[in-house]
Homo-oligomer: A and B are copies of this chain.
Amino acid sequence: MDNKKNENFSEWFTEIIQKAELADIRYNLKGFIVFRPWSVLSIEEMYKLYEKELQSKGHKPTYFPILIPESNFHLEASHVEGFSPEVFWVTEHGKGEKFEERLALRPTSETAMYKMYSLWIQGKSDLPLKIYQRGTVYRYETKATRPFFRSRELVWIEAHNCFATKKEAVKQVKEDLKMTEKVMYGEFCIPFIGFQRPEWDKFPGAVHTYAADTLMPDGKVIQMPSTHLLGQNFSKPFNVMFADEKGKQTPVWQTCHGPCISRIYGGMISILGDDQGLRLPFKLAPVQVIIVPILKGDDAKNKAVLKYCKKIQKKLIKKEFRTEIDSSENTPGFKFNQWEMKGVPIRFEIGPKEFEQNKITLSIRTKKQKETIDFKDIVKIVKNKGEEVTKDLKEEASKNFLDVIHDAKNMNELKQVLDKGGFARIPFCSVEMEGRECADNVKAETHGDIRGIRVDSKEKPNETDKCIWCGKSAKEIVYIARQY
């Protein structure tokens, strides 16, 4: 790698995308990229882990159409207002025959799904309805795009749920936050803080928006999965009603949850990578074990070494460890660098000595030292070393994340904290709409965005705390950071 991650993050990111062949930005349509195999193989594993978790919580998979008639959008006013400027419209087919109404390439699927929900839900026995889909959504993004993080085609999951009571809907929000913890941190090694967003930064149509924020190596914040408490804002106009105990038609309570897998992948490689390149959690690595034959003997010996490599590979593949042998013409040193750059967690070096002694020289991506192991132990050791790599990555990411929150009592302190990167914790007048003007002023002066109030703690200002901008009595402790 030519760039150092912590000195030059943006260039490092561009370099790793190209060198590790994660994506190609040369597709001839602005804001669209090609995801290449090395990223897709990890992203598919991320889908597996996320979907397994969703299914274990009772969410069922569906495929909804990608096109949504424009009239569907107009049923919920703030939703149409929020998304209309970003929609790609299909207007014609074939040689130019027009459709009766424009068809949206879905920017999100509320307005596709909830029309069907109104057909599916009749009584209490149809509830809860917990449905998700994996797929892509389209937004005509006008900000500068960046591969994985922000583009006009997003690779994501969206879950849309209906409940008989508000209580159950709120419980679902909490379940989503727990799932985010389990998958995002537990599996993908991404530390984050969960926030309830201020009123002016909600999903269009939501009662409340909750989101997981993490930090990039340059100290800027990025939003990871979000969950929206939709209340009855959509069920009323979309007529998603159930007959309650007394037979009364009642609008359901709704939530939706949208982890953007491509963005999470971008966040993950940024947080976990180092100056040698990618580092990947063991479960997500396209190749988990790379075997590098060290050929330096005569032909017969080399053949024996290669045969031994194949024997090792076969044993590991049988246990479903993704294992490859690099038998290219390159030097071992070149290969070591190459596979380190690609983020392969475990490397086996196999030369004549290893072959003769039925041993393997092993090293892992997160530590410098090498060790020698016996052939008979490889399955157990690969499993343990794989877990060790994931644990190392998680611990390092968590350690870096510890020191990112600093209190600021006034605008000067705030600027200093934000210049260093990370979150500033500040007293603030309100996260209701009345606080918006202060937020806008703070942003104009510091480029910092109010991320909201923390969901995992009950932080409250002291009685004497004043809003950092207007000086009125502070109702909330909020977090602020510069964002991507």
- Interface on A for B, CB 8 Å cutoff? 24, 26-29, 32-37, 40-41, 43-44, 60-69, 72, 84-96, 102-103, 105, 112, 115-116, 119-120, 131, 136, 138, 140, 153, 155
Contacts and interface: CB of A to CB of B under 8 A. Distances in A.
Nearest to A135: B136
A153 B66 contact: yes
Given A62-B40, A85-B94, A153-B65, A119 B24 contact: yes
Given A103-B29, A116-B26, A63 B91 contact: no
A325 B85 CA distance: 48
Contact of A86 (B35, B60, B72, B94): B94
Contacts of A119: 24, 26
Nearest to A155: B63
B136 A34 contact: no
A212 B133 CA distance: 30
Nearest to A125: B328
A140 B119 CA distance: 26
Contacts of A102: 92
B93 A34 contact: no
Among A37, A44, A84, A89, chain B packs the most CB atoms within 10 A around the CB of A89
A201 B296 CA distance: 56
A429 to B, nearest CB: 34
Number of copies: 2
A267 to B, nearest CB: 18
Given A37-B61, A40-B61, A91-B92, 16 more contacts: A26-B119, A27-B115, A34-B62, A34-B65, A34-B116, A37-B60, A40-B63, A41-B61, A44-B61, A85-B94, A86-B93, A86-B94, A89-B92, A89-B93, A90-B90, A93-B140
Contacts of A115: 27-28
Given A85-B94, A89-B93, A93-B87, A65 B105 contact: no
B90 A105 contact: yes
A72 B33 CA distance: 16
A136 to B, nearest CB: 6
A270 to B, nearest CB: 20
A68 to B, nearest CB: 8
